[in-house]
Structure formats: C-alpha cells, structure tokens
C-alpha cells in the first residue's frame, strides 16, 4: 500500500539555524499539508499546498516558514531561523483528487536546542 | 469557533469493553468529521469518518454517532482489544478549506 514518507525521522538543531524537513507524498496525490504536534498536545494545521501554491496557512505559519515542491515527488518545509518553541513532531500529509482522506507520514521529530 | 473539544483525556478499559470518546464543535460550517488513530512514534491514521447527513456510521468494531443538533459526535469501539491501545483524535473540516482541526486526543488503554 502506498504511503507518505518523511526524512529525517529525527533532527536536532541549534536555535537560529535553518532546517528543511522532507516529505514524499503518495504518488498520484495533488494536495499536500504540513501539521505539527508539540509533545503531548494536539495535532495543529500549518499549511496546505495545491497546484504549486499555498492554499491556506495558519497563524503559526509565519515568515520563518516556507514550503516548496522542488520536483515531482518531494514536498519540503523550511524553517528559516529555528526557535526553541519550534520543537515538535512535524507531519506531512497528502490527499488524492476527489478524495477526503488525508494520509499522514510517520513524522519528523525536531528538537531545537 | 474553530475548536473541537474532545473528552476524556484518557480512558482505561478491559478487553471486551466499549470505550466511548466524545467530541463537540461550535462551527456549523464543519461538514466532515474523521477520527484518527495514532500509535506511539507513528503518524495519525484515518480510522473512520462521517458527514453530517447521517447519524451513525459503522466500520467493523468502530462506530461514529453524530448528533447534528447538539453539535456532538462520538466514537464507540465495540469488543475492544489490547491492540486498540492508542491515542484517538477526532477532527473536523470544512470542504472548501480542507484543513483538519483536531481535538486534543484521548489516550486509550485496553487491558487484557
């Protein structure tokens, strides 16, 4: 069964550094998402992406965040200058055309020191 | 208005019991209500979903009950098994926005 994959599984970085989290959505999916989950808390929407542009973004997704689909298979989330409070599990999700279900990847655990 | 409130925070049942997890929402524009199951270290996985035009949906041992007038919906797990031990999230979305608004999660433990 096709699945969403994410790399790396864990990332440790220093405050102020840039990080890029990578996702490979399911191959025929057209809608892509990033969510995050701070330890022990609920999953929060960050951004949705369709047709090479952002469809919607949350208040969390400020100027420090950006997303890109650099080629036909990858979808990335960049945090330009990480803060301590960016420490969380980041989930990528994708959805096929005409479908409601969002399929989530296993996540990247980001720790900012 | 964009919140989904979920209870209880945690739930312990014995094998064979019927845990019930409840969610409530305020925004009447929500029109899609999925439940996700999450095991430790994994991403959320869709379990079952419902739209507000039906009051109940059943898939295997999992049932969603939906009360549109009360703006509440709940997940029932029949004949629960130790393998059902996980965190369960309810969520809601509006078709034209697509973002999922998640509840705070319920940690379910099923003991043999």
Tokens, residue A9: 């599984």
CB B2 within 8 A of CB B97: no
Q: Find, among B65, B58, B54, the residue nearest to B31 by Cα.
A: B54
Number of structural domains, chain A? Answer: 1
| CA distance, residue A9 to nearest chain B CA (Å) | 10
- Average pLDDT of span A62-89: 94
Return the DSSP state at A106: -
Q: Is the pLDDT of residue A99 over 90?
A: no
Answer whether residue A66 is part of any domain. Answer: yes
| Matching residue, tokens 């007038």 | B69
Q: Does B48 touch chain A (CB under 8 A)?
A: no
Tokens of A112: 């900012």
Provide, as residue numbers in chain B, all residues whose Cβ is less than 8 Å from the Cβ of A105: 43
Q: Across chain B, how many H-helices and E-strands are there?
A: 0, 11
Q: A102, A105, A107, A108: which to substitute to probe chain B, counting the most B Cβ within 10 Å?
A: A102
- Residue-number span of the structural domain to which A34 is assigned: 5-101
CB contact under 8 A, A44 and B97: no
User: Binning pLDDT at 50, 70 and 90, where does residue B1 land?
Assistant: low
Closest-CA distance, A45 to chain B, in angstroms, reads 7
Using the predicted structure, report yes or no on whether residue A98 has a pLDDT greater than 80.
no
Tokens of B91: 């969520």
Q: Which residues is B76 bridged to in the sheet? A: B20, B63
State how far the Cα of A78 lies from the Cα of A83, in Å rounded to an integer: 13
Task: State the maximum Cα–Cα separation within chain A, in Å, rounded to a whole number.
Answer: 41
- Distance, CA of B64 to CA of B83 (rounded, Å): 19
Average pLDDT for A52-59: 93
Residue A75 has pLDDT above 80, yes or no: yes
* Nearest C-alpha in A relative to B102: A43
- Among B89, B99, B104, beta carbon nearest to A48: B99
Band of pLDDT at residue A100, cut at 50, 70 and 90: confident
Contacts of B97 in chain A (CB under 8 A): 56
Nearest chain B residue to A42 by CA distance is: B104
Q: Are residues A106 and B41, on separate chains, in Cβ contact within 8 Å? A: yes
The CATH number that domain B4-106 falls under is: 2.60.40.10
Which residues have C-beta within 8 Å of that of residue A68, sequence separation ≥ 6? A75, A76, A78
Instruction: Report if residue A109 sits inside a domain.
Output: no
pLDDT digits (tens, 9 = 90+) for B71-111: 999 999 999 999 999 999 999 998 777 799 999 999 999 99
Angle (CA) A111-B4-B9 rounded to 5° is 65
Report the CATH number at residue A22.
2.60.40.10
């Amino acid at each position: 069964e096709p699945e969403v994959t994410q790399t790396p599984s864990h990332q440790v970085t220093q405050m102020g550094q840039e990080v890029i989290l990578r996702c490979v959505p399911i191959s025929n999916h057209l809608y892509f998402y990033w969510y995050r989950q701070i330890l022990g808390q609920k999953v929060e929407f960050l951004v949705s992406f369709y047709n090479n542009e952002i469809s919607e973004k949350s208040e969390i997704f400020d100027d420090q965040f950006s997303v890109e689909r650099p080629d036909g298979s990858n979808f990335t989330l960049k945090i330009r200058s990480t803060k301590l409070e960016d420490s969380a599990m980041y989930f990528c999700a994708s959805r096929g055309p005409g479908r409601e279900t969002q399929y989530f990847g296993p996540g990247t655990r980001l720790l900012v020191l | 208005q964009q919140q989904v409130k979920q209870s209880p925070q945690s739930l312990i049942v014995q094998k064979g019991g019927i845990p019930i997890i409840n969610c409530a929402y305020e925004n009447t524009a929500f029109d899609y209500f999925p439940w996700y199951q999450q095991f430790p270290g994994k991403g959320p996985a869709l379990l079952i979903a419902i739209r507000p035009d039906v009051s109940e949906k059943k898939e295997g041992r999992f049932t969603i009950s939906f009360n549109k007038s009360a703006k509440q919906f709940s997940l029932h797990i029949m004949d629960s098994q130790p393998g059902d031990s996980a965190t369960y999230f309810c969520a809601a979305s509006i078709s034209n926005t697509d973002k999922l608004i998640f509840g705070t999660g319920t940690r379910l433990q099923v003991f043999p």
